[in-house]
Amino acid sequence: MQWMSLGVIVLFGGATLLAHDDNFIKWKPTVLYWLMGGALLIGQLVFKKNLLRSVMGAQLQLPDAIWLKLNWAWTAFFAAMGGLNIWVAYNFDTDAWVNFKLFGGMGLMVVFVIAQAIYMSRYLPQDGVPNTAETKDKQP
């Protein structure tokens, strides 16, 4: 992912400098978001591999159904963020877009990560006892 990000940054940053057109740099976050979301989508649908689980599975023990929901949630989030970025880029001036990119995008990402953490916490083991949906239903 880091090499992909570097490539997109160099490509769109270079195009912005060469063409003296800030639209290229405005597209960069959208392309990155859509590439990441597309990678998650293709991994799941084409290769039947949950890339989130591949990356974080050693640190988090979650049921398969929860990994699948997280994968779809991140895919949708990246698609929505890409669309929102390009909407702001074309409907507001460059200063407003920069503020959105720095503060709005970051704020939305933080809120989304916190929501994911709260959602995952219901399924994480506590005191050595698995805390899955099945055991939650059986607890008083």
Whole-number pLDDT of residue 40: 97
**pLDDT for 112-124, tens place per residue?**
999 999 999 999 8
Per-residue pLDDT for 138 more than 70? no
* Number of independent structural domains in the chain: 1
Averaged confidence pLDDT in the chain: 86
The answer to whether residues 81 and 108 touch, using CB atoms and an 8 Å cutoff, is yes
Per-residue pLDDT for 17 more than 60? yes
Domain that holds residue 97: 2-138
Per-residue pLDDT for 99 more than 60? yes
Kindly report whether the global pTM for this prediction surpasses the value 0.85: no
Percent of the chain with pLDDT over 90: 65
Burial letters for 68-86: b for 16+ Cβ neighbours within 10 Å, e otherwise?
A: eebbebbbebbbebbebbb
**pLDDT for 38-97, tens place per residue?**
999 999 999 999 999 999 989 999 999 999 999 999 999 999 999 999 999 999 999 999
How far is CA 19 from its chain centroid? 30
